């Protein structure tokens, strides 16, 4: 007798690595991302965070959206869509990009992989099939294929990641520079490895046809056993990306196409991503609006803050007077105590005109059900909170 | 002959911290270290190729975050990694596993005693309350109780208020707690012997007391009041070994302009007209300075590198009688693989963190009896950690090193001086105990370093090999540390200070003694304070 699951339509989909991830997720701590079950943590978020900073960890990025963009016009199409100059991306290189509406509001961020002159891969956090179709309008020779389910992707991040890949037999991986792509034969297929990641540390992302996902996981975990390999989930990812100063959708920015109130989305300039906007290249979506914003200056500026004390300034308002009496000049988007840096760090949207003011965060926290508040001085930081030399060195030093 | 604003004697982590803060205030500082390497007891040494032992101190929880942050030690290469999962080994097959997850930890206790599992909540709560108060005093200079200076009076009032806020019952409890034995204190809460043994073990570490000796309950508290990123009671490993702590502080000190000289043992502190004026090195060189800071223990400072005639009456005797009894040895073992322990699940989160071979309260007390008789125990208490399971930098991949802190081990034996043969026999007592719980352990050994209190004293200059630079008993704590009347880092000779663990708040890799001493020195020199205030999670 076959039984059908009446709730099948509501259950999250499982990623290619789920059979292994399930065994290792001792806490049964799952969330859903783009319809896929993915881990909040496996054992303990902070423990996993330390694996990324001390040994190495894997993060299942199967739920991330992946699109193959092919054809003679692929480059021109992408170049019209994103704000960065796609022409400047070298062969077998990856570039971080954002794309905007005509109003210059940010739709999403992602990475573009240039695999051949007419072959690109675009990855991003949210599905964007509809936007890609619009972006391809008017180009003759371009095809966009959603390959999210065809390619299993696993991030391997942390100081021992290179040693683990070498042990796995990926000869020459240590010559890969940040944002390089390398290819390795793997059981009759090709394993693509990019030196990319979302943790600000030494790290790689592995891209493999889905049917070989488990095989790759097993070989990676065998190689990594002596290098402290450990799966990590969303909690650790969020900690490491904040230390690296990277933005997160639904934290730092609200996707423009999902924003009801037109003041609630952001421009790349507001997110301190002006360096990604290239006005020297041909027309791209949002160019005119962004040019104007650049002249006028963004209303808000995403700012890195080092905050006194150790109470994370989650959801805090920022003021420019210590008594927090006047009108707020900004708000915190992400905040945490950084165990590696030993600092109370945050990203905050500050009204640009107040950037140079004295900044104070009004922090609320609870102890044994009692609510307390505290006002803490904020210091602006220009560099990422966490930038170990190994993240940039080629070949990376032996952990 | 060279001249400095300040000479710091001893490049242990407190000496380096002191130098960093003095240099930060603009002083011209030199740190003089007798060994060819810096770090004192917070040191990493490659004694066998590929293996980097933290061959003295081995874990860390007291390191004040405020100092870590203020000196920007992360930028200077320091990262502290918490480790998980200590297993307490009972006398037979009994094992108590400290699971990281609270619910799992509760269930584990329940398997041993449902009563104790519940009692643990009350115990942890009470202990946390006690430690909160002590923690607040760490980065403050103890007041002189008989002084009428406004600062001391204010500090006494502050302290009185903190005590008063506890409430009448708690004040009595607190005083009781300070003077009780760890075992008696625990009997108030628990019934299970293994649980009590596990909880009592921090009460004897580094101290020539047994679990039934009065005063051991405070030492228990001293070991659990630390934290790693606000997780109070947690212990961390310094990535790269404990030497990474000293190295990072040294790097910060050097950035502020401090000079560090190794192979520069101090022979004698020079005193002129009742004021310290410099030092003479073992090689005969003379260095002068406005002030001299000793990071050596109190006994060593006043009986070894100072002339008795330069000291006020009574100080020499106080120093001679300073309680700094050596009680522990250290066995560092390089292993070709991860040891497997019997009756322990193959759970990587718990079977490779710490191993505490505590046995029972009785076992620990019997081991103490051996110490009293002037011998080591053939059934010692051992606190082990396998740092290489957490830190990829300290042993070759797939191989390991195990730190074994062994108690008790006397600095002097009843049957004559320590010899290499006796040292080997002491090491053998440790291996054979571990082998009982991990058959085949012996075959994994690649290299080992056995350190008796005698060796520790000779190598890094801790008198009697006492890891705390003086025992942490109430007669030697707070304003009585190291001696009554000298609890504020200023020594009996003018322009002379102390900054080591012989001063408040005592032993542990906390960097507090060095920082507190710097604050006092800067007051005397009328320089702006460079030492940060403490930063609390529990406020």
State the ipTM, two decimals.
0.95
The closest CB to that of B79, out of A27, A53, A310, belongs to: A53
Give how far A150 is from chain B: nearest CA, Å. Answer: 33
Domain map of chain B by residue range? Answer: 2-80+239-322+469-524, 84-113+328-409+412-451, 119-191+216-228
How many C-beta atoms lie closer than 10 Å to residue B440's C-beta?
Answer: 10
B171-223: pLDDT as tens digits: 898 888 888 999 999 999 999 999 999 999 999 999 999 999 999 998 888 88
Look at residue B314 and tell me whether its pLDDT is greater than 80: yes
pLDDT at A2: 64
What band does B439 get if pLDDT is binned at 50, 70 and 90?
very high
The closest CB to that of A47, out of B74, B84, B393, belongs to: B84
Between strands B354-357 and A359-367, the pairing is unpaired
pLDDT at B225: 82
Topology, domain B2-80+239-322+469-524: FAD/NAD(P)-binding domain (3.50.50)
- Name chain A contacts of B101, Cβ cutoff 8 Å: 27, 44
pLDDT at B133: 87
The closest CB to that of A54, out of B73, B79, B398, belongs to: B79
A379 touches chain B (CB under 8 A): no
Q: Which helix (H) or strand (E) holds B425?
A: helix B420-437
Instruction: Establish how many alpha carbons lie within 13 A of residue B305's alpha carbon, considering only the half-sphere containing its beta carbon.
Output: 29
Mean pLDDT, residues B472-483: 94
Look at residue B502 and tell me whether its pLDDT is greater than 60: yes
Closest-CA residue to B8 (of B36, B38, B45): B38
Instruction: Supply the CATH classification number for the domain B84-113+328-409+412-451.
Output: 3.30.9
Give how far B137 is from chain A: nearest CA, Å. Answer: 18
**Rounded distance, CA B30 to CA B6, Å?**
6
3-state secondary structure of A90: coil
Mean pLDDT, residues B462-482: 95
B348-380: pLDDT as tens digits: 999 888 999 999 999 999 999 999 999 999 999
User: Quick one: tokens of A226?
Assistant: 């002596």
Set out the domains of chain A in order of their start, with CATH numbers.
18-64+149-244 (3.30.1360.120), 65-146 (3.30.70.1400), 256-381 (3.30.1360.120)
A221 touches chain B (CB under 8 A): no
Q: Which residue of A has its CA nearest to B66?
A: A342
pLDDT at B228: 79
Q: Which residues, numbered 258 to 297 in chain A, qualify as contacts with chain B under a Cβ-Cβ cut-off of 8 Å?
A: none
Mean pLDDT, residues B393-417: 96
The phi and psi torsions of A382 (rounded to 5 degrees) equal -100, -30
Look at residue B458 and tell me whether its pLDDT is greater than 70: yes
3-state secondary structure of B506: coil
pLDDT at B131: 87
- Suggest the residue from A240, A339, A386, A388 to mutate for an interface test with chain B (most B CBs closer than 10 A): A339
**Rounded distance, CA B370 to CA B492, Å?**
38
- Name chain B contacts of A399, Cβ cutoff 8 Å: 392-393
Q: Which residues, numbered 304 to 343 in chain A, qualify as contacts with chain B under a Cβ-Cβ cut-off of 8 Å?
A: 309-310, 337, 339-343
Between strands B286-294 and B381-385, the pairing is unpaired
- Name chain A contacts of B390, Cβ cutoff 8 Å: 54-55, 228
How many whole angstroms from its chain centre is CA A43? 22
Q: How far is CA A338 from CA A188, A332, B62, B228, in A?
A: 43, 16, 18, 12
Q: What are residue B2's DSSP bridge partners?
A: B287
Instruction: Establish how many alpha carbons lie within 13 A of residue B460's alpha carbon, considering only the half-sphere containing its beta carbon.
Output: 26
Find the radius of gyration of the CA atoms of chain A: 22
**Rounded distance, CA B415 to CA B373, Å?**
10
**Contact, B201 vs B356, CB < 8 A?**
yes
Q: Which residue has tokens 């969303």? A: A234
Question: Mean pLDDT, consecutive 10-residue segments, chain A of 399 residues?
Answer: 85 97 97 97 96 98 98 98 98 98 98 98 97 97 98 98 98 98 98 98 98 98 97 98 97 97 95 98 97 97 96 97 95 97 96 98 95 96 95 93
Mean pLDDT, residues B457-464: 96
**Rounded distance, CA B168 to CA B174, Å?**
10
Tell me if B230 and A340 make a contact (CB, 8 A cut-off): no
The closest CB to that of A227, out of B84, B349, B397, belongs to: B397
**Contact, B519 vs A292, CB < 8 A?**
no
Closest-CA residue to B55 (of B44, B63, B65): B44
Look at residue B1 and tell me whether its pLDDT is greater than 70: no
What contacts A2, CB < 8 A, 6 or more positions away?
none
Tell me if B65 and A310 make a contact (CB, 8 A cut-off): yes
**Contact, B531 vs B489, CB < 8 A?**
no
DSSP one-letter string for B512-533 = HHHHHHHHHHHHHTT----PPP
What contacts B370, CB < 8 A, 6 or more positions away?
B376, B377, B378, B408
Q: How far is CA B176 from CA B188, B214, B484, in A?
A: 12, 10, 22
Percent of chain A with pLDDT over 70: 99
What contacts B182, CB < 8 A, 6 or more positions away?
B199, B200, B202, B203, B204, B211, B216, B217, B219, B220
pLDDT at B353: 85
Tell me if B390 and A228 make a contact (CB, 8 A cut-off): yes
**Contact, B143 vs B218, CB < 8 A?**
no
What contacts A319, CB < 8 A, 6 or more positions away?
A325, A326, A328, A329, A359, A360, A361, A362
Interface of B with A (CB under 8 A): 65, 68-69, 73-74, 79-82, 84, 100-101, 228-230, 239, 349, 390-393, 397-398, 535-538
A159 touches chain B (CB under 8 A): yes
Look at residue B231 and tell me whether its pLDDT is greater than 80: no
**Rounded distance, CA B489 to CA B72, Å?**
25
Look at residue B522 and tell me whether its pLDDT is greater than 70: yes
**Contact, B457 vs B34, CB < 8 A?**
no
3-state secondary structure of B200: helix
**Rounded distance, CA A146 to CA A121, Å?**
10
Tell me if A340 and B391 make a contact (CB, 8 A cut-off): no
Mean pLDDT estimate for chain B: 95
Q: What are residue B272's DSSP bridge partners?
A: B275
What's the pTM? 0.96
Instruction: Write the secondary structure of B3-37 as one string of H (helix), E (strand) and C (coil).
Output: EEEEEEECCEHHHHHHHHHHHHCCCCEEEECCCCC
What contacts B221, CB < 8 A, 6 or more positions away?
B127, B130, B131, B134, B177
User: Quick one: tokens of A195?
Assistant: 């030196």
């Amino acid at each position: 007798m076959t039984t059908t699951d009446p709730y099948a339509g509501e259950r999250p989909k499982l990623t290619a690595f789920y059979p292994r991830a399930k065994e290792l997720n001792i806490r049964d701590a799952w969330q859903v991302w783009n319809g896929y079950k993915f881990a909040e943590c496996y054992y303990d978020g902070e423990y996993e965070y330390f694996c990324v900073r001390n040994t190495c960890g894997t993060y299942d990025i199967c739920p991330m959206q992946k699109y193959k963009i092919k054809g003679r016009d692929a480059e021109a199409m992408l170049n019209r869509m994103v704000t960065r100059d796609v022409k400047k991306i070298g062969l077998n290189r990856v570039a971080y990009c954002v794309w905007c509406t005509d109003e210059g509001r940010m739709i999403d961020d992602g990475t573009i992989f240039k695999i051949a002159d007419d072959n690109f891969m675009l990855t991003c956090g949210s599905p964007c099939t509809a936007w890609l179709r619009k972006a391809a309008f008017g180009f003759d020779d371009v095809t966009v294929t959603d390959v999210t389910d065809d390619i299993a992707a696993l991030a391997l991040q942390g100081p021992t990641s290179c040693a683990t890949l070498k042990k796995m037999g990926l000869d020459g991986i240590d010559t890969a520079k940040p944002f390089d792509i390398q290819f390795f034969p793997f059981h009759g297929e090709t394993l693509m490895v990019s030196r990319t990641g979302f943790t600000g540390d030494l790290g790689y992302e592995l891209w493999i046809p889905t049917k070989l996902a488990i095989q790759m996981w097993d070989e990676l975990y065998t190689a990594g056993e002596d290098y402290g390999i450990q799966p990590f989930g969303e909690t650790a990812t969020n900690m490491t990306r904040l230390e690296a100063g990277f933005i997160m959708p639904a934290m730092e920015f609200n996707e423009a196409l999902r924003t009801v109130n037109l003041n609630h989305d952001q421009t790349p300039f507001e997110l301190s991503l002006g360096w990604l906007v290239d006005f020297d290249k041909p027309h791209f979506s949002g160019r005119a609006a962004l040019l104007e914003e650049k002249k006028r200056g963004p209303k808000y500026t995403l700012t890195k803050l080092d905050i006194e004390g150790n109470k994370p300034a989650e959801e805090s308002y920022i003021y420019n007077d210590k008594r927090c009496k006047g009108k707020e000049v900004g708000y915190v988007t992400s905040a945490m105590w950084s165990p590696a840096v030993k600092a109370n760090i945050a990203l905050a949207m500050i009204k640009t005109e107040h950037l140079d003011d004295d900044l104070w965060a009004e922090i609320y926290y609870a102890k044994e059900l009692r609510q307390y508040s505290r006002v803490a001085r904020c210091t602006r930081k220009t560099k990422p909170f966490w930038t170990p030399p190994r993240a940039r060195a080629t070949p990376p030093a032996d952990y | 002959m060279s001249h400095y604003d300040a000479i710091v004697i001893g490049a242990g982590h407190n000496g380096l911290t002191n130098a960093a803060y003095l240099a930060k205030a603009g002083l011209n500082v030199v740190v003089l270290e007798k060994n060819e390497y810096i770090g004192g007891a917070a040191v990493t040494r490659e004694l066998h190729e590929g293996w980097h032992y933290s061959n003295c101190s081995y874990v860390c929880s007291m390191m004040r975050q405020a100092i870590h942050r203020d000196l920007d030690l992360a930028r200077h290469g320091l990262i502290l990694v918490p480790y998980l999962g200590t297993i307490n080994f009972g006398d037979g097959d009994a094992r108590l596993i400290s699971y990281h997850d609270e619910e799992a930890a509760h269930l584990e206790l329940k398997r041993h005693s449902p009563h104790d599992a519940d009692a643990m909540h009350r115990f942890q709560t009470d202990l946390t309350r006690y430690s909160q108060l002590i923690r607040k005093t760490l980065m403050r200079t103890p007041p002189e109780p008989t002084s009428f200076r406004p600062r001391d009076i204010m500090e006494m009032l502050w302290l009185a208020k903190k005590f008063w806020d506890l409430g009448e019952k708690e004040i009595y409890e607190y005083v009781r707690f300070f003077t009780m034995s760890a075992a008696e204190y625990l009997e108030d809460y628990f019934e299970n012997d293994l649980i009590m043994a596990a909880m009592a073990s921090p009460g004897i570490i580094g101290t020539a007391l047994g679990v039934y000796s009065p005063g051991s309950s405070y030492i228990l508290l001293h070991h659990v009041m630390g934290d790693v990123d606000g997780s109070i009671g947690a212990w961390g490993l310094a990535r790269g070994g404990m030497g990474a702590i000293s190295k990072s502080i040294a790097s910060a000190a050097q950035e502020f302009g401090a000079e560090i000289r190794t192979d520069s043992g101090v022979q004698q502190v020079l005193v002129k007209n009742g004021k310290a004026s410099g030092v003479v090195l073992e090689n005969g060189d003379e260095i002068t300075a406005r002030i001299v800071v000793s990071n050596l223990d109190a006994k060593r400072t006043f009986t070894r590198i100072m002339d008795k005639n330069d000291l006020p009456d009574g100080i020499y005797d106080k120093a001679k009688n300073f309680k700094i009894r050596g009680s522990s040895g250290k066995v560092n073992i390089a292993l070709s693989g991860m040891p497997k322990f019997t009756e322990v699940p193959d759970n990587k989160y718990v079977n490779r963190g710490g191993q505490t071979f505590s046995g029972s309260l009785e076992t620990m007390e019997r081991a103490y009896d051996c110490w009293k008789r002037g011998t080591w125990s053939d059934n010692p208490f051992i606190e082990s950690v396998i740092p290489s399971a957490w830190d990829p930098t300290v042993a070759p991949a797939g191989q390991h090193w195990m730190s074994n802190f062994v108690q008790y081990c006397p600095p002097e034996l009843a049957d004559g001086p320590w010899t290499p043969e006796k040292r080997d026999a002491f090491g053998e007592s440790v291996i054979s105990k571990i082998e009982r719980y991990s058959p085949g352990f012996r075959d994994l050994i690649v290299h080992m370093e056995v350190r008796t209190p005698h060796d520790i004293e000779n190598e890094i200059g801790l008198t009697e090999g006492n890891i705390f630079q003086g025992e942490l008993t109430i007669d030697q704590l707070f304003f009585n540390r190291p001696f009554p009347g000298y609890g504020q880092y200023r020594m009996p000779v003018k322009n002379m200070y102390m900054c080591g663990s012989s001063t408040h708040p005592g032993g542990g890799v906390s960097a507090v003694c060095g920082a507190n001493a710097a604050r006092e020195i800067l007051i005397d020199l009328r320089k702006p304070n460079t030492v940060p205030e403490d930063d609390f999670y529990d406020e």
